């Protein structure tokens, strides 16, 4: 078994490293220097023509796009229990919130941050950002310590990483329930260890 993560720091691939820490699986880390535009070198574009990180290669298979990587890795290493299995009642909500992140939350927040003129509701892929945020905050107010209640999953790594980053740059205003949720997720030993390793890598 071979697993390679193409990574840059700081970037959204920090979350992929955090997920791998939770999964507890060995992997090879290949660093790209974004300042030197190494993501656009022919050898990397041959792997990911979009020139984006994170990108993983698992036993010769290339997986790109953040939510696809999270879904794939959690399924590929089931011993960690980070993905509800097919047939589990939580599988549907798990996939729903994976898709919601990429199709509604992230594009909505980026449009808001860049002060883009909202598209007509019927043409917008996410409707409107107020509804997106209301739906998200309501989910985080539901009973249970984790995104899906009592079960910690790859969703928690995805959402906590993103919300922590976006709150840091004031792209979102956290609710009290969201703040408590982030404290719980970010206190997990594997995520704390990954954060320390990332700081060392970045030279901070």
Do 23 and 98 sit in the same domain of this protein?
no
CATH number assigned to the domain comprising residue 24: 3.40.30.10
86 located within any domain: no
What are the tens digits of pLDDT across the range 116-151? 888 887 888 888 999 999 999 999 999 999 999 999
157 located within any domain: yes
Do 63 and 120 sit in the same domain of this protein?
no
Classify burial at 87, counting beta carbons within 10 Å of its beta carbon; exposed 0-12, middle 13-18, buried 19 or more: exposed
What are the tens digits of pLDDT across the range 20-79? 999 999 999 999 999 999 999 999 999 999 999 999 999 999 999 999 999 999 999 999
* % of residues, the chain, pLDDT over 90: 83
53 located within any domain: yes
**Across the chain, what does the average pLDDT equal?**
94
Residue 129 to residue 170: CA distance in whole angstroms: 15
Residue range(s) defining the domain that contains residue 128: 91-188
Residue 75 to residues 2, 12, 27, 170, 200: CA-CA distances in angstroms? Answer: 16, 20, 16, 33, 29
**pLDDT computed for residue 204 by the predictor:** 54
Number of domains in the chain: 2
């Amino acid at each position: 078994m071979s697993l390679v993560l193409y990574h840059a720091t700081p970037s959204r691939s920090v979350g992929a490293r955090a997920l791998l820490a939770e999964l507890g699986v060995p992997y090879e880390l290949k660093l790209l220097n974004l300042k030197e535009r190494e993501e656009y070198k022919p050898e990397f574009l041959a792997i990911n023509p979009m020139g984006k990180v994170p990108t993983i290669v698992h036993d010769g298979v290339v997986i790109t796009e953040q939510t696809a990587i999270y879904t794939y890795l959690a399924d590929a290493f089931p011993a960690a229990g980070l993905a509800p299995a097919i047939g589990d009642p939580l599988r549907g909500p798990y996939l729903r919130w994976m898709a919601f992140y990429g199709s509604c939350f992230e594009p909505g927040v980026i449009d808001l941050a860049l002060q883009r003129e909202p598209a007509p509701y019927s043409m917008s892929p996410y409707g409107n950002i107020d509804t997106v945020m209301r739906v998200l905050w309501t989910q985080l107010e539901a009973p249970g310590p984790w995104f899906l209640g009592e079960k910690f999953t790859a969703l928690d790594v995805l959402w906590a990483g993103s919300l922590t980053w976006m709150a840091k740059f004031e792209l979102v205003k956290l609710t009290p329930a969201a703040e408590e949720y982030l404290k719980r997720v970010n206190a997990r030993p594997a995520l704390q260890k990954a954060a320390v390793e990332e700081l060392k890598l970045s030279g901070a």
